[in-house]
Amino acid sequence: MDSGTTALVICGLYLLATFIMGILPGFRVSKSVAGYVAADRGMGFLVLYFVLGASIFSSFAFLGAPGWAYSRGASAFYIIAYGVIGMVPLYFFGPRARRLGERYGFVTQAELLTHRFENRGVSIILALLSIGAFIPYLTIQMKGAGYILSTVSGGRISEALGAAVTYGVVMVYVLFSGVLGVGWTNTFQGAFMMVVAWFLGLYLPTKLYGGVGAMFEQLAASSHAAMLEAPGLLADGSQWSWAGFSSAVLISAVGFSMWPHLFMKSYAAKSDRVLRLTVVLYPTFQIFLVPILLIGFSGVIAYPGVEPADTILPFLLTQIELSPLLIGLVCAGTLAASMSSGDSILHAAASILVRDGIDKAAPGKLAGAREQLLIRLFVVVLSLVSFYFVLVSSVSLVDLLLAAYGGVAQIFPVMLAAFYWPRATGKGAVAGLLAGLVVNVLFLRHPELKPAGFEHVHEGVFGLLANIPLLVGVSLLDRPQDADHIREFVET
């Protein structure tokens, strides 16, 4: 068996193992919507820890992040920086959301906000935003999986076929087991990719330079020294500005805990304690970005000029003399990263589309069993739509995803107001959200319109500057909501 085939067989075995892990919990969970979407609100610490951790570390972690370190140096530290501070709001919001979810049967983020603000508009805006953000996200995960399988097979498996096989597996276990399928596979996959990342992140610098310290010493003494200085470089090799770096950290941190597929895992937690402990221990998961960045840095001196930079990890794998077994395991780790985010997104997107979109647009039409059937139907539809984009996509997908980051950050002030500002009203929330989203997209599409001197500031910041005053102003002009209704939210 040649080395490509060995690696491919390992990837195949890995997919099979994931498939079995994903199917098993489906026999345990109740047949209700709360079972399918929120694991009957009984998820324990270990599974929640890996679900939150592994959902965040997507194929970007294995392909994009080393690429950033390789081509943009210290810019990549921004990925660690926003994660450090971005999970914290969930410590405060999460338990409140969980308790309200238990009381009212919420399973999505928008359900909570719609109930608080007594306004269906919030729900429909969030459903549209979520779908707009999730489809490019999912497409990128599929492409990552397809890319790895195509590389490891030496092109014998096309990118499209690789994506189809991997996401065929994901689709089946998401369909069958819902969020518990996501949970169990993510525990398995999260642990697997952590091991792979630490192994490669320490092995490559040692093999190529004699150690991590030796690698950075050589880099600091070389012509590449400037890339190690924060805020690092832009994709074109010029210096990134502090305004750009700082505002990117800020907006990503603000949006981090607001990603609907993460936020809604609050409802799955067994208790407040489990949820809080998960947030507290999140940095122990996050630290695995360090070896990931080391992989990228290890290519800078040894293999300059690799294009595109995102291919640095597969490129290194083909250059160093690693046993086919290990290459197979590393590729399986990348598949793990892709699948463990993709499954969570797919599951969340279908749930949100049905619960927040269709249910709200045509209230009272869907009973439990039909609703669950519809969510499953949308799991298939969304997989096919994303797969269609894998086949026809262009770079504009990345643009869409970037727009989504700034867009998701716009949920933050509304969520903050829902819990901590009793005077906030539905009209205020809708006005703030809409203004934030419009301004964000406007400046993303037309950066030349940004005010002079603030060209490098992330467009999400401008979105927030439109969002917050409108949320406050329109709420104050509007009539207050019922005090008893509000009390449940601010005093939960």
Partner 1 sequence: MKPHAEEQGRIPRGLRFFSENVPVTTRRRRFLFVLVWCGISAMMMWPIYPLMSGATPLVLGLPRSLAWVLVAMVLMFGSLLWLFLGDEAEAKRREARAGQGGSKTGGGDDG
| Site residues (CB under 8 A) for partner 1, limited to 213-232 | 213-214, 216-217, 219-220, 225-226, 228-231
Residue 239, SS3?
A: strand
Number of Cβ within a 10 Å radius of residue 437: 23
Q: Restricting to residues 4-33, which ones interact with partner 1 according to CB under 8 A? A: 30, 32-33
C-beta of 229: minimal distance to partner 1 in Å?
5
C-beta of 369: minimal distance to partner 1 in Å?
8
- Residue 212 or 437 having the CB closest to partner 1: 212
- Residue 103 or 446 having the CB closest to partner 1: 103
- Residue 388 or 420 having the CB closest to partner 1: 420
With binding defined as CB under 8 A, does residue 290 bind partner 1?
yes
Phi, psi of 239 (to 5 degrees): -70, 135
CB-CB contact of 342 with 142 (8 Å): yes
C-beta of 109: minimal distance to partner 1 in Å?
16
Phi, psi of 269 (to 5 degrees): -65, 145
C-beta of 416: minimal distance to partner 1 in Å?
9
The mark string for 243-262 relative to partner 1 (x by CB under 8 A, - otherwise) is x-xx--xx--x---------
CB-CB contact of 295 with 61 (8 Å): no
Q: Pick from 9, 88, 301, 381 the residue near partner 1 by CB under 8 A.
A: 88
Residue 4, SS3?
A: helix
Cα–Cα distance, 117 to 343 (Å, whole number)? 30
List beta partners, residue 239: 233
C-beta of 393: minimal distance to partner 1 in Å?
33
With binding defined as CB under 8 A, does residue 425 bind partner 1?
yes
Selection from 476, 400, 401, 461 nearest residue 431 by Cα: 476
- Across 45-69, b (16+ Cβ under 10 Å) vs e yields bebbbbbbbbbbbbbbbbbbbbbbb
C-beta of 102: minimal distance to partner 1 in Å?
5
Q: Restricting to residues 98-127, which ones interact with partner 1 according to CB under 8 A? A: 101-102, 104-105, 107, 118
Q: Pick from 43, 74, 404, 439 the residue near partner 1 by CB under 8 A.
A: 74
Selection from 246, 30, 259 nearest residue 132 by Cα: 259
Number of Cβ within a 10 Å radius of residue 156: 12
C-beta of 489: minimal distance to partner 1 in Å?
10
Which span (205-213, 301-309, 339-347, 404-412) binds partner 1, by CB under 8 A?
205-213
Q: Restricting to residues 366-385, which ones interact with partner 1 according to CB under 8 A? A: 367-369, 371-372
Number of Cβ within a 10 Å radius of residue 214: 13
Distance of CA 438 to the CA centre of its chain: 22
Which span (168-176, 184-192, 266-274, 407-415) binds partner 1, by CB under 8 A?
266-274
With binding defined as CB under 8 A, does residue 293 bind partner 1?
yes
Say if residue 349 is exposed, middle or buried (CB neighbours under 10 Å; 0-12, 13-18, 19+).
buried
Q: Restricting to residues 304-333, which ones interact with partner 1 according to CB under 8 A? A: none
The mark string for 473-492 relative to partner 1 (x by CB under 8 A, - otherwise) is ---x-xxxxxxx-x---xxx
C-beta of 84: minimal distance to partner 1 in Å?
5
